[in-house]
Structure formats: C-alpha cells, structure tokens
Amino acid sequence: MTSLMNRSLAQVDPDIAAIIAKEERRLAYNLEMIASENFVSEAVLEAMGSVLTNKYAEGYPGKRYYGGCEFVDAAEELARARARAIFACEHVNVQPHSGSQANMAVYLSVLNYGDTILGMNLAHGGHLTHGHPLNFSGRSYKIVPYGVTQETETIDYEELERLAHEHKPKLILCGASAYSRVIDFERIGRVARDVGALSMADIAHIAGLVAAGLHPSPIPHMDFVTTTTHKTLRGPRAGMVMCREQFAKDLDRAVFPTVQGGPLMHAVAAKAVCFKEALEPEFKTYQEQVIRNARVLALELSNAGFRIISGGTDNHVMLVDVFVRGLTGTQAEKALERAGVTVNKNAIPFDTQPPMKASGVRIGSPALTTRGMKEPEMKVIAGLISETLADFENESAAKSVRERVNRLCESFPMYEGRLVRSSAQTK
C-alpha cells in the first residue's frame, strides 16, 4: 500500500485538518441559532466517515447495477424500515442527496414541464425549490403563489383554496423554511382532492417534530412528503421522499435514474442511524425541549421590544422583526455574529426593506437544545441578543457580549473529544 493510504488527515493535509479544527472551535464557541442547522451525534458522524463512501450501488436493494451490494443493501433496508416505523408512510425512498433533490424527484415523477404548481410564496416563508425564478422549479413550471394574511401573518387558507379552484394546479405544495405556526395539512390535502390536484408537503424544517408526534403528520393527507434529514431530524445532510404506494414506482425511477446516479451509501447508513436515534424516547424529550426553548426565546424577545411574526411560535423557529427596533436584518446578523451569535437575516412577510437588507432575522432553537440548553439559558440569550442589537454599531459592546457567550458555551461543551484530538494533531 502506498504511504498516502495510511496517514492521518493532519499528516496528509494539514491545511484541511486545521480548517476542520477551526470549524470545531467555531461550533463549540458560538451560539448556533440558524433554524435549519443542528449538531449530529458521534454515531452519525462515524457512519458518515465510513468505508461505505467507496461503494457504487445504483438501483435499489436486491436490484442493483453493481456487485458487492449485500451489506449496503442491508443498510438501505434498515433505513427504509426505520423511516416507515417513524412516519407510518406507505413507501419511502432514502436516496436523495438533499432536500432539493427530493423535491425535484417528486416534480419529475408526476409533472410535465410547464405544469402549474400552487406553492407558498417564497417571500412569506416558502423555499427556493417551491418556485424561485432562478431555481429549476421556477424555470420548469408555472408557479402560482399563496401567502400569509397581513393581519395574522399565518397561512391564508382561503386564498389558497380560491387560487386552487381558479388555477387548477397539477400539484399543491405546502411546507416552509421560515414559518413558525402549525400547518394544517389536512385542510390543504382536502383542497387538493377537491380540485383534482396532487399534494406534497415539504417537512424539511419540522421533520423532527413530526417524527416525535409534536406536529400533526402530513402523511395521511398528502400524496408525497419530502424532507431533509439534517434539520430538526438531526441526521446527516441529505434528503428523503415518502409517498403513497401508488406513486412508489414512478418516484423511485425519478430519484434514480432521472435525478441521481449512485446513492451516497455512507449517508444512507447515517440516515439509518439517525432514524434509530429518532425512535428512542430521548429523541421525543429533545424535540419537546426544542419547542419549549423556542417559545421562551420568542416571549423574551418580544418583551424586549422585538416583534415576533405571527405573534409567536408553535415549533422550533421564529421570524423576528428587528426593524421595529431601528435596524435591518443584515445589520442585526452582522452585529450578532461579532457577539458570537449565529443567525440569518430573513425577509418578513410584506417586507418594506429590499431582500439584501431585510427587516428580520430567523432564529431557531434546535442546535442549542442539542447542546443541552434549556429555558434559563434562552432567557439569558434573549438578553444578550437584545443588548447587542441595542448598540449594534458599537464593537466594544459586542465584545462584552462575546465574553459572556464564550462562558455560556463552555458550560455546554460540543464535540469535546474532537476538539481535544484535533488540537493535539494540529499542534
């Protein structure tokens, strides 16, 4: 064997080893509040870094285009069985590389180019793949958007219903990237059946809550349910599609060979691990805490004079109007970053600011909850956010918050073993 094959990362590539070490430190010493992010377990990381990355396995278990698939077949079967156990779906495809590819596979399995999709307005919380003009979805299909009402900032189900009758879409989409309220999947499913449309829920954000029974499941009401596995579900960065049995063949053909070639079998195995974790009682306790933490955070921020879109949150995420306190979302994101709090700027519904500035930030509780933080820490963090934004151009104020963030982070260690190992290796 060549000498390249048996050396550590630090020996082969000190540059990348140092970058990973820095990222481990960044994760450990910042308050990660991006609503779509989370920290996976050591077990999931181990599967992701396994030799399964070597295997070509085009096709499906028992029907592969390559030999040597007996073990990866078993991994994919486990992932599928566990997904079915968690979500009670009829059919599941665990191969999508990402949430976007999961959505693409559904569209390509049932739509023709130019067909009409009724989907949630991106400016009101929808996702790129639900019809952004630069995304394949917006370029391939006719998109009719529905949104939230100006008064309640919750989904305007009456508008959705009216538009469905008016445009007779082939597919009705629901699910969002920045929506803090329960989505009435039953009602949307009924509208779809009334107008003869197919229905799809994209639960990328809330999959963990659905898995734990803390958000009503879309499975009984929708033809297709897509998700990512790396947000609240806390698995590897990847996607998945569930559907009714009648669409199973078309869906599987759309994932492979229409959208993808060989599946990432290390990621499929890591999904199986994530699903095993999701079947543990501890997972439900975690998701309950995610919701409790988000509620406390929303309440405290609102007491500090920020406006929470729709007045609060039912899930893991909130949209916070910072413009009411005199700064844009971009200014808030930058100031918070200096203070060690990671969030993203986000447009709010009916935003008066241009998208690159935005009036809001999107904040989520999943990653901090994984670290073990609870309600008392959320109160402290809301105070730190408010203090930072009160004087958002003052770098020394941000620095003072930064020190307290460091201390808080030290009390809730993250990937401790890795930090120790990589600092020893990169010395």
Q: Which spans of this chain sit near ligand PLP (rule: CB under 6 A)?
A: 36, 98-100, 127, 129, 175-177, 202, 204-205, 228, 239
State yes or no: is 202 an active-site residue. yes
What would you report as the CA-atom Rg of the chain, rounded to the nearest whole angstrom? 22
* Residue 96 preceded by cis peptide, ω within 30: no
Name the residue nearer to ligand PLP (CB basis): 184 or 202.
202
Q: Where are the beta strands (DSSP E) in 55-148?
A: 59-60, 63-64, 91-93, 116-120, 142-146
How far is the C-alpha of 211 from the C-alpha of 218, rounded, in Å? Answer: 11
Strand 142-146: give its sheet, edge to edge.
Answer: 91-93, 239-243, 224-228, 198-202, 171-174, 116-120, 142-146
The secondary structure element, H or E, covering residue 106 is helix 99-110
| Active-site entry in 80, 231, 295, 362 | 231
| Active-site entry in 29, 56, 116, 142 | 56
State yes or no: is 237 an active-site residue. yes
| Active-site entry in 237, 276, 357, 421 | 237
Least separation, in Å, of the C-beta of 271 and ligand PLP?
Answer: 13
Least separation, in Å, of the C-beta of 414 and ligand PLP?
Answer: 22
Least separation, in Å, of the C-beta of 360 and ligand PLP?
Answer: 16
Helix (H, G, I), strand (E, B) or coil at 320: strand
Name the residue nearer to ligand PLP (CB basis): 287 or 346.
346
Name the residue nearer to ligand PLP (CB basis): 129 or 369.
129
The secondary structure element, H or E, covering residue 171 is strand 171-174
Name the residue nearer to ligand PLP (CB basis): 125 or 340.
125
Buried-exposed string 95-134: b where 16+ CB fall within 10 A, e elsewhere? bbbbbbbbbbbbbbbbbeeeebbbbbbbbbbbbbbbbeee
Q: Which long-range contacts (CB under 8 A, 24 or more apart) does 72-75 make?
A: 72/265, 72/268, 72/269, 75/265, 75/268, 75/269, 75/272
Token pair recorded at residue 101? 């590819």
State yes or no: is 231 an active-site residue. yes
State yes or no: is 285 an active-site residue. no
Residue 10 CA neighbour count, 13 Å, CB half: 9
Contacts of 71 (CB under 8 A, 6+ apart): none
Name the residue nearer to ligand PLP (CB basis): 10 or 122.
122
Least separation, in Å, of the C-beta of 230 and ligand PLP?
Answer: 7
Least separation, in Å, of the C-beta of 197 and ligand PLP?
Answer: 19
Name the residue nearer to ligand PLP (CB basis): 21 or 183.
183
| Active-site entry in 46, 58, 115, 387 | 58
Least separation, in Å, of the C-beta of 22 and ligand PLP?
Answer: 23
* Cβ–Cβ < 8 Å for 146, 158: no
Name the residue nearer to ligand PLP (CB basis): 98 or 287.
98
The residue number whose beta carbon is nearest to ligand PLP equals 99
The secondary structure element, H or E, covering residue 341 is strand 341-342
- The total of other beta-carbon atoms located within 10 Å of residue 244's CB is 16
Q: How many helices (H) and strands (E) does the chain have?
A: 17, 15
The residues annotated with a catalytic role in the active site are: 56, 58, 202, 228, 231, 237
